[in-house]
Amino acid sequence: MRRLRNVKIVATLGPASSDYDMIRKLFEAGADVFRLNMSHGTHEDIRARHAIIRQIEADTGRPIAILADLQGPKLRVGVFANGSEDLVEGATFRMDLSDAPGDLNRVQLPHPEIFAALEPGATLLVNDGKIRLSVNECGPDFADCTVSVGGTISNRKGVNVPDVVLPVAALSDKDRKDLEFACAIGVDWLALSFVQRPEDVIEARELAKGRAAILSKIEKPAAVKAYDAILAVSDGIMVARGDLGVELPVQAVPPIQKRLVRGARAAAKPVIVATQMLESMIESPVPTRAEVSDVATAIYEGADAVMLSAESAAGQYPIEAVTTMHNVAISVESDPVYREIIEASRKAKRTTVADGIVAAAREIAEATDIKAICCFSQSGTTVSLVSRERPRVPILALTPLMETARRMCLTWGTHCVLTEEQDRFKGAVISAARAAREEGFATESDQIVVTAGVPFNTQGTTNILRVAPCDERLIHRVDPE
């Protein structure tokens, strides 16, 4: 099954998309990666959806990536005696550690780590930023605030603290259990919430022990400030615009999105743009024009993937949402302006032999009538480097490792093919030519570019490039035994 687009689509599974028929329809409509949200559903639910995806993978013969999204610590207020209270702008309000039911003057905030980090002048945001409190005075067990923006505050509403780096681990006890469970059943990517510092990512990587790649969600101002360091220790990035838009002024999010996408591209690491991309399609079969423009903008920026959340997990029109994303991608990528933007933003620093090989592969492919760039890869690193170049021709990612093939499904422009292990370059060229023909990328009269590393089956050895015919008889004629 060949996709006629380069950007990938991530679809979240949930109550609206939990059986074989629906998940297969989502895959056939264009979903390349399925997201399992660990915030919702039991381990049994997650295991069942994972098994269905793997069955579809076997039935269709195409690798499919699975992304498990960890919940992260949730900071919430306690409960109110009346269930809720209306806070008025200019009023005073206290948060403290007392477990007594809240009233119009105070409520419990059962997180001493927040009080330890607060300073006068800091801001507390409640209920996705709908209520804004300014801290006047604080101590180890209280914060006296002035209501800057009022509203209704009710039981267990979420609290955001945008101004400080909180001494809170990115992994809660629940997350640690979920991480081990997800790795045990065999997910390909782990999305890490509440990242504030590179140490958060390093901790998750140590727990994963190589069983899954780590994708850092950039959703806090502290993560934006430490982005370069976080990117360096991550395998991928998610631009989580929902929480960013709560903790930062909404007008700051679009330029941050552009910077995060370009940084990940330069580092040859996949980047997902997420949150509210087709929000209206939860209840409507047709998106708004603004939502279509939003999806298109992410694709014009060169994002590896765009993501559906509630649209495919709990919405009334999950298949239509995936189809819409697919159609927008086809339209954008056929626009000549798209190539102009993509190529103008190609600013990778090339310092290694592998960098030079993949850059040469792209230039040769674009200067001549080459049908595809075929990459043999053990870890997926070479494929990521080729993808960073954003070539005009398809990328065939060839690997003998199913785990690598699945992870590469998140990478821009890749068509992943499971192949036999090779010990000689001639065999690799023949295998690449065969795959290009069988997968519909070329005919016997066409040529392809093949990249690989010698010695074979060793990570990080990309050092060879060849323009090869797709006719195996010609390969044998040029390279006799």
Catalytic residue among 3, 5, 8, 35: 35
d(CA 256, CA 388): 20
Domain of 234: which CATH number?
Answer: 3.20.20.60
Catalytic residue among 12, 123, 275, 324: 275
Q: Say if residue 317 is in the same domain as residue 194.
A: yes
Residue span of the structural domain in which 95 resides: 84-160
Q: Say if residue 26 is in the same domain as residue 132.
A: no
Domain boundary among 133, 160, 187: 160
Q: Say if residue 402 is in the same domain as residue 460.
A: yes
Is residue 79, in this structure, part of any structural domain at all? no
Q: Say if residue 387 is in the same domain as residue 253.
A: no
**pLDDT tens-digit profile of 252-307?**
999 999 999 999 999 999 999 999 999 999 999 999 999 999 999 999 999 999 99
Q: Say if residue 248 is in the same domain as residue 357.
A: no
Domain boundary among 99, 129, 160: 160
Q: Tell me if residue 3 is catalytic.
A: no
Q: Tell me if residue 382 is catalytic.
A: no
For the record, the structure tokens of 243 come out as 């929480």
Q: Say if residue 259 is in the same domain as residue 296.
A: yes
d(CA 336, CA 330): 12
Secondary-structure breakdown of the chain: helix, strand, coil percentages, each rounded to the nearest 5? 40, 25, 35
Is residue 417, in this structure, part of any structural domain at all? yes
Average pLDDT, the chain: 94
Name the burial class of residue 266, with classes exposed (0-12), middle (13-18) and buried (19+) by CB atoms within 10 angstroms of its CB: middle
Is residue 242, in this structure, part of any structural domain at all? yes
Place of tokens 């004629």: 477
* pLDDT in the model for residue 480: 59
Q: Tell me if residue 35 is catalytic.
A: yes
* pLDDT in the model for residue 369: 92
Q: Say if residue 89 is in the same domain as residue 66.
A: no
Domain of 128: which CATH number?
Answer: 2.40.33.10
- DSSP letters, 226-274, are THHHHHHT-SEEEEEHHHHHHHS-GGGHHHHHHHHHHHHHHTT--EEEE
Q: Say if residue 247 is in the same domain as residue 128.
A: no
The pTM is what? 0.94
Is residue 465, in this structure, part of any structural domain at all? yes
Q: Say if residue 192 is in the same domain as residue 264.
A: yes
Catalytic residue among 76, 211, 346, 434: 76
* pLDDT in the model for residue 427: 87
Q: Tell me if residue 406 is catalytic.
A: no
For the record, the structure tokens of 58 come out as 């076997």
* pLDDT in the model for residue 358: 93
Q: Say if residue 188 is in the same domain as residue 308.
A: yes
Is residue 346, in this structure, part of any structural domain at all? no
Domain boundary among 114, 137, 160: 160
CA torsion, ordered 219, 221, 223, 225, to nearest 10 deg: 150
State the total domains in the chain: 3
d(CA 290, CA 285): 15
Residues in the chain: 481
Catalytic residue among 5, 49, 132, 217: 217
* pLDDT in the model for residue 460: 65
Q: Say if residue 175 is in the same domain as residue 54.
A: yes
Per cent of the chain over pLDDT 90 is 86
Is residue 347, in this structure, part of any structural domain at all? no
Is residue 77, in this structure, part of any structural domain at all? no
**pLDDT tens-digit profile of 123-156?**
999 998 999 999 999 999 999 999 999 999 999 9
Q: Say if residue 258 is in the same domain as residue 335.
A: yes
Domain of 457: which CATH number?
Answer: 3.40.1380.20
* pLDDT in the model for residue 474: 86
DSSP assigned state of 345: T
Write out residues in the chain with pLDDT < 70, as ranges.
Answer: 348, 457-460, 480-481
Is residue 165, in this structure, part of any structural domain at all? no
* pLDDT in the model for residue 69: 98
